Amino acid sequence: MSRFSGTLLLGRERLRVRAVALAMGFAALAGAALILASGYDPLSAYAEIARGSLSLAALPDTLNWATPLVGMALAAAIPLRGGMVNLGGDGQLVIGGLIGALAPLFLPGAGAFGAAAGLILAGFGGGLYAALAAWGEVRHGVPMLISSLLLSYPAIGVTSYFARFPLRDVSTGLPQTLMVPSDARLHVLSGPLNVGSVLIATIALVVVFADRRTSGGYELRMRGKNARFAGYGGVRLGRQAVWTMSCSGAIAGLVGAIIVLGSQFRFIDGALVTPAYTWSGLMAALLANGEPVGTIAAALFFAALQTGGFAMQRETSVPRVLTLVLQAIVILFLAMRRGLGRRM
């Protein structure tokens, strides 16, 4: 047991669980105050969140929402583990989504091949775009924190343009591409769940394993603790930055393609960005400081929170945006307790 938990929860991370619990308690209280002030009942609101996410009927929806959220959380966590920040998830997401929507339409070959190609190319697209930000820092000294964020605006703008003009499905009146043929869609498992969830779950396991059991994971962890130490010890920091961001962007791109090929079946302008998977994912990663297992746990929790939020809004009229407020309060609380954040 100890060997397993030693692998599962690395040492000091255990101490953070208490701080996280405290943060959640504080956020719940602050949220309750806000709900009360808005004229609603906090207890029934919270009860609906729980019921609407964890009940047997709601579980498939929660897991479906968790799929992209966990994916984007991992995308944010990987660089964060090494002390780097990727704020360009939205841009990488839409690039992957558009590629995923177009591949089955434009590539020769039918059905599953189109889907597979879409997924792979989406990963490439997102990875390359994220690597651009890393390259900007390595070669030109432009901080990737800023450049990754700034890059997402052009990405969103260009994909939006394509969806509204050249590649638009003119038969509908909406800014979206043509439907992905039904044989190229991700295989449905049950209800809203599709193969994409399995894919993300697999990636999650791979990330955890890589973090604990590969030399690349070790080097990334050490860089996160002290980048100068890693460099002095022989880690090629520039290369590591580019590879790390590439993996991050690749996962983000993949998530975009999974959403398109698994749920929406076309690239719809704005649809990938509106649910705020990127930012909730980032918050989950920050909560766990980039540590993969904690990140996944936090992402699952946030997924439940947000799915429950839909039910809360339906049943008690409390706007579901509240769940994002609660998440932000948790992050800020943790940031204040001197445990969270990179060693600057």
**Least gap, CB of 195 to other proteins (angstroms):** 27
> What gap in Å lies between CA 94 and CA 30, rounded to an integer?
34
Residue 110 DSSP label: -
**Least gap, CB of 76 to other proteins (angstroms):** 10
CB neighbour list of residue 236: distance below 8 Å, 6 or more residues apart: none
Amino acid of residue 320: R
CB neighbour list of residue 244: distance below 8 Å, 6 or more residues apart: 78, 79, 82, 84, 134, 220
**Least gap, CB of 305 to other proteins (angstroms):** 12
Considering Cα of 335, then 200, then 254, then 57, what sign does the dihedral take? Answer: negative
Pick 191 or 233: Cβ nearer other proteins: 233
Pick 98 or 258: Cβ nearer other proteins: 98
Q: Is 237 helix (H, G, I), strand (E, B) or coil?
A: helix
Assign residue 141 a region: left if phi > 0, alpha if psi is -120 to 50, beta otherwise? left
Pick 185 or 320: Cβ nearer other proteins: 320
**Least gap, CB of 131 to other proteins (angstroms):** 14
> What gap in Å lies between CA 194 and CA 257, rounded to an integer?
13
**Least gap, CB of 319 to other proteins (angstroms):** 4
**Least gap, CB of 19 to other proteins (angstroms):** 12
Pick 109 or 154: Cβ nearer other proteins: 154
> What gap in Å lies between CA 55 and CA 264, rounded to an integer?
25
**Least gap, CB of 112 to other proteins (angstroms):** 30
Pick 55 or 229: Cβ nearer other proteins: 229
Pick 1 or 57: Cβ nearer other proteins: 1
What are the contacts of 153-160 at 24+ separation with CB within 8 A?
153/91, 154/91, 155/88, 155/90, 155/91, 155/92, 155/94, 155/95, 155/129, 156/90, 156/91, 156/94, 156/273, 159/94, 159/95, 159/97, 159/98, 159/267, 159/269, 160/269, 160/270
Pick 26 or 161: Cβ nearer other proteins: 161
